[in-house]
Structures are given as structure tokens and as C-alpha cells.
């Protein structure tokens, strides 16, 4: 069975997958600022008896790694769709 779609449809879907995959990796996969709470441990007290400020660090949790993984999959699927459509259109033109 052969389905004849205009090539603009797979190109548009492929470009959308590439765009949204890139945005997913960039914005949802970036490390989040994690603050350690003052009651997390005994290491918060300075030698002079004053309480030190909670440390801030950037961490990439499991949610961010999942977004990066799926964003890359979306990008690869979009690239496959665009390239395979291009190859198919070139074959039909011969």
C-alpha cells in the first residue's frame, strides 16, 4: 500500500520535532538550582559560631536527564523524517 502525501506535511512534522526537541533539551533539561536547607546537616555552622548561608549548587536530576534523552530522540526522529522525505522526493523526480 502506498500513501501519497504532499512532501510539505512530513517536512513540517520533521521540523516541528526538531524544534520542540531542541527546546525540550535546552529549557527542560538544563540543571536546576538546588539550595541546601539549613537543617540538612552539621556542616552549616562556621567556626566562629555563626550560621553559614545554605550553599547553592546546580544539579541535574532524573527529570532533567529524562527530558534530555527524549529531546534527543525527538531531534533524531525529526531528522530521519526530513532526510527520508528528501530522499523519497528525489527518487520520484527521476
Q: What is the DSSP string of 41-61?
A: -GGGB-TTSPBPPPPEEEE--
CA distance 59 to 33: 7
- How many domains are contained in the chain? 1
Looking at residue 94, its pLDDT comes to: 87
Q: What is the dihedral of CA 57, 62, 63, 67, to 10 degrees?
A: 110
**Bridge pairing between strands 32-35 and 56-59:** antiparallel
> Mean pLDDT in runs of 10 for the chain (94 residues)?
89 98 93 64 55 66 91 98 96 90
Report pTM: 0.71
C-alpha cell at 36: 541546601
State residue 31's pLDDT score. 81
In the prediction, which pLDDT does 51 show?
A: 59
Q: What is the DSSP letter of 60?
A: -
Residue 87 resides in a domain: yes
Residues of the domain holding 23:
8-33+61-93
Residue 54 belongs to some domain of the structure: no
Amino acid at each position: 500500500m502506498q500513501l501519497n502525501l504532499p512532501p510539505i506535511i512530513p517536512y513540517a512534522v520533521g521540523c516541528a520535532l526538531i524544534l520542540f526537541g531542541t527546546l525540550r533539551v535546552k529549557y527542560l533539561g538544563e540543571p536546576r538550582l538546588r539550595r541546601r536547607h539549613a537543617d540538612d546537616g552539621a556542616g552549616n555552622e562556621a567556626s566562629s559560631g555563626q550560621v553559614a548561608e545554605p550553599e547553592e549548587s546546580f544539579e541535574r536530576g532524573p527529570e532533567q536527564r529524562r527530558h534530555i534523552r527524549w529531546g534527543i530522540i525527538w531531534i533524531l526522529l525529526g531528522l530521519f523524517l526530513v532526510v527520508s522525505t528528501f530522499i523519497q522526493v528525489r527518487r520520484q523526480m527521476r
